[in-house]
Amino acid sequence: MTSISVIKKDITSLTVDAIVNAANSGLQGGGGVDGAIHAGAGPGLINECAAIIEKNGLCATGSAVTTSAGDLPAKWIIHTVGPIWSEEGQERSSLLLSSCYKSALDAASNLRADSVAFSAISTGVYGFPKKLAAPIAVSAVCSWLEAHQRAEAPRSIFLVCFDEENFRITKAVVDRLGPNNTP
């Protein structure tokens, strides 16, 4: 059975199989969590990302690709491109955000990752309202888990919040799942 936990930490410090990066379409690193992940992983990450872009072109919003984690304590980084709230509108942004979580879990399943840590995708500079993003994230994770065999699913999923506001909002949504925080 998969457990879902909400934690307030720096995602780059976690020893998990995979961390999920809120990336830009060019996988170039940037500000916020994306910049922190690139800085922590070291210079090899930008080369891996450049090779993916050279081979496949820019990453579509809602999609996910994987790289090694470089110098980070995780094994892999799953990069997913979240929607920019001001460009997509609420309905399309919501669908794309859900796709980010599901695509990342597909990638984690392909890697056979036992533990996955998600950043709060699109809630930083991409402007997705935190109160809307948290229920979408939790719902997407739960629906993915319900649709996949237990053998394909990670045993532990962490929703990692860097700030107190995201932590409180996300924890309240997950706490509604019940005492074991499992779907």
For residue 34, indicate whether it is catalytic: yes
In the sheet with 76-81, reading across from the earlier edge strand, the strands are 3-8, 156-161, 115-118, 18-23, 76-81, 64-68
Name residue, tokens 């929607």. Answer: 83
> What SS3 class is residue 37?
helix
Tell me the CB-side half-sphere exposure of residue 109, using CA atoms within 13 A: 17
Strands (E), 28-148: 64-68, 76-81, 115-118
The catalytic residue among 10, 34, 71, 106 is: 34
CA neighbor of 139 nearest in space, from 160, 170, 107, 179: 170
Query: Integer distance in angstroms from the first to the last C-alpha of the chain?
Result: 9
CB-based contact 25:60 (threshold 8 Å): yes
> What SS3 class is residue 140?
helix
The residues assigned a catalytic role are: 34
